[in-house]
Chains A and B, each alone.
Chain A
Amino acid sequence: MRLHLCQRTIAVLCLVAGLGLAVVAPTHATEDSLPLASIPLTNTGQFSVVEVLVNGAGPFQFVLDDGMATTVIDRRVAEKLKLGAEGEVRVASLGFAGFEIEDVQAKLVDLTKIWGDGAKDGVIALDLFSDYLTTLDLPGQRLILRRGKLSPADGDEILDYALVSRTDGEAFEGRQVVTIEVAVGDDSLIADLNPASWGALTLHRDYADKLPLTFEPGVIGNTVNDKGTFSILGAGFRGTLAIAGHKLKNPGVYFSDAFDHPSLGSGLLDSFEITYDQAQQRVRIHKPNPANHPMLVKAAGLTRQSGHGADLRTTFNQNLDKVRVMVLLSPT
Chain B
Amino acid sequence: MRRVGTEQLSLQVVWMPVLDPDDAAAALEAESILADPRAAHFWDAEQSLGKMYGKVLTLPRGRSLAWDIYFVYAAGVEWKDELPLPTDWQHQLGMDERHLDGEKLREAVVALLPESERQLLAPPTVAAEKRGTINF
Given contacts A329-B16, A330-B15, A330-B17, whether A218 and B82 have CB atoms under 8 Å apart is: no
Whether A140 is near chain B, meaning CB under 8 Å from some CB there, is no
**Which chain B positions have C-beta within 8 A of A295?**
46, 48, 51-52
Whether A302 is near chain B, meaning CB under 8 Å from some CB there, is yes
Q: Is A317 touching B79 in the complex (CB atoms < 8 A)? A: yes
Provide the bound-state CA to CA distance between A17 and B126, in Å: 76
Provide the bound-state CA to CA distance between A252 and B70, in Å: 20
Q: How far is the CB of B75 from chain A (nearest CB, A)?
A: 5
- Of residues 274 through 332 on chain A, the ones whose CB sits less than 8 Å from some CB of chain B are 289-291, 293, 295-296, 298-300, 302-306, 309, 312-313, 315-317, 319-332
Q: How far is the CB of A194 from chain B (nearest CB, A)?
A: 15
Given contacts A200-B64, A306-B31, whether A320 and B18 have CB atoms under 8 Å apart is: no
Q: Is A306 touching B60 in the complex (CB atoms < 8 A)? A: no
Provide the bound-state CA to CA distance between A295 and B16, in Å: 14
**Which chain B positions have C-beta within 8 A of A220?**
61-63
Q: How far is the CB of B3 from chain A (nearest CB, A)?
A: 12
Q: Is A299 touching B44 in the complex (CB atoms < 8 A)? A: yes
Q: Contact residue range for chain A?
A: 35 or more
Q: Is A315 touching B40 in the complex (CB atoms < 8 A)? A: yes
Provide the bound-state CA to CA distance between A319 and B78, in Å: 9
Q: Is B64 touching A267 in the complex (CB atoms < 8 A)? A: yes
Q: Is B67 touching A253 in the complex (CB atoms < 8 A)? A: no
Q: How far is the CB of B115 from chain A (nearest CB, A)?
A: 13
Provide the bound-state CA to CA distance between A220 and B59, in Å: 13
Whether A271 is near chain B, meaning CB under 8 Å from some CB there, is yes
| B21-54 near A? 1/0 per residue, CB < 8 Å | 1101011111100100000111110101111110
Q: Is B51 touching A322 in the complex (CB atoms < 8 A)? A: no
Provide the bound-state CA to CA distance between A298 and B45, in Å: 10
In-complex Cβ contact of B12 among A200, A218, A254, A326 (8 A): A326
Residue in chain B with minimal CB distance to A220: B61
**Which chain B positions have C-beta within 8 A of A313?**
79
Residue in chain A with minimal CB distance to B55: A271
- Of residues 210 through 246 on chain A, the ones whose CB sits less than 8 Å from some CB of chain B are 214-215, 217-218, 220, 234-236
**Which chain A positions have C-beta within 8 A of B136?**
325
Provide the bound-state CA to CA distance between A296 and B43, in Å: 15
- Of residues 48 through 98 on chain B, the ones whose CB sits less than 8 Å from some CB of chain A are 48-53, 55, 58-64, 66-79, 81-84, 86, 94, 96
In-complex Cβ contact of B58 among A236, A290, A291, A331 (8 A): A236
- Of residues 170 through 225 on chain A, the ones whose CB sits less than 8 Å from some CB of chain B are 200, 214-215, 217-218, 220
Given contacts A234-B62, A327-B14, whether A320 and B78 have CB atoms under 8 Å apart is: yes
Whether A250 is near chain B, meaning CB under 8 Å from some CB there, is yes
**Which chain B positions have C-beta within 8 A of A236?**
58-60, 62
- A-B contacts, 19 listed (Cβ < 8 Å): A200-B64, A218-B94, A254-B62, A291-B81, A299-B52, A302-B48, A303-B42, A304-B41, A305-B41, A316-B73, A317-B79, A320-B77, A322-B10, A324-B12, A327-B69, A328-B69, A330-B17, A331-B30, A332-B21
B→A interface (CB under 8 Å): 7-19, 21-22, 24, 26-31, 34, 40-44, 46, 48-53, 55, 58-64, 66-79, 81-84, 86, 94, 96, 109, 112-113, 134, 136
* A323-B75, A327-B13, A331-B27 given; 18 more Cβ-contact pairs under 8 Å: A200-B62, A200-B64, A215-B96, A220-B62, A235-B61, A250-B58, A252-B58, A290-B81, A295-B48, A322-B9, A324-B72, A325-B70, A325-B109, A326-B70, A328-B53, A329-B16, A330-B68, A332-B26
